[in-house]
Amino acid sequence: MDDLEQRLTTLITQVRQHPPNSRKWRSAMNRLLLEIQQLPGLLKSSHPDYPTALNRTFEWVSNNISQFQPYSNSVAKSLVKWINSYLYWRIRDLYSPDKDAPLSLDAPIASDFGEVTLLDKQPNFTLSGLDGLIENSQRETTQRIGLELELYIEQDPEGKLKNSYPSSSAQCNCQFLSQRRVLKEPPDKFADIARELSIPYTTVNSHWKRKCEPILQKIAEDLGYKQEQSL
């Protein structure tokens, strides 16, 4: 484990160990937020109110850090992805006060390669079907549709994913399965999920195939993904 990974792991552990707003909690949280500001991949914007969006995000991090779980072996990359899942929408609010209005593709955001727009990040999908989209979204990528799909899974703003579950297990909902199958690197096996939830493997597999995949496919299409048609 390199120095950054060790520092982040230690600070997150310290924050969780102390009562919220205690002196030791504030000290650890302040140091954690300083580390977060330096993380590569953190979304940025040239909008004059970006600091407000960032401050709201830091407040959200402070209130929800106990819920953070790494998606991969890298705490830093997982933390950035988790924070961006909230920061993205706060930047979106800056450019679109109407939360139901689409974010302009010309809205400037920042990357490790300089300021770009969402249009610059438009993906060029060569794989067809949901499997191809999932493969793209699992990669460490900032491509627009892949990122927006990941953010939708995390936020589930309309409850489409969380409200779809087999009658025998509300925990086996499509948001939970998507987090374990799409966001997690590597994805969990259905057999492991079934054992964890104490339900049959066939229940998990069937619900994923019959309900979750079609929902994700529709969400992806609504985000702009067009499945390639076979000739």
Domain of 112, in residue numbers:
3-121
pLDDT per 10-residue tile (average), the chain, 231 residues: 86 91 86 89 86 89 88 86 88 68 44 42 39 45 59 86 95 94 84 95 95 91 60 28
Please give the C-alpha separations between residue 184 and each of 50, 74, 85, 154, 179, in angstroms, as whole numbers.
29, 12, 14, 12, 6
pLDDT number for residue 120: 40
What pLDDT sits at residue 155?
Answer: 83
Position 97 scores a pLDDT of 55
Shared domain for 114 and 19, answered yes or no, is: yes
Say how many residues make up the chain.
231
Q: Do both 9 and 107 map to the same domain?
A: yes
Question: Within a domain: residue 230?
Answer: no
Cα 223 to Cα 146: distance, rounded to the nearest angstrom: 9
Token code pair at residue 168: 């025998």
Number of domains in the chain: 2
Residue 10 resides in a domain? yes
Residue 192 lies in a domain: yes
Centre a 10 Å sphere on the Cβ of residue 89 and count the other Cβ atoms it contains: 17
pLDDT at 195: 95
Helix intervals (H) in 18-46:
23-37
So what's the pLDDT on residue 130? 53
Which residues lie closer than 8 Å to 137 by C-beta, 6 or more apart? 146, 147, 149, 150, 182, 183
Question: What was the pLDDT predicted at 201?
Answer: 95
- For the chain, how far is it from start to end, CA to CA, in angstroms? 48
CA nearest to 227, candidates 138, 126, 148: 126
Please give the pLDDT value at position 196: 95
Count of C-beta atoms within a 10 Å radius of residue 103: 18
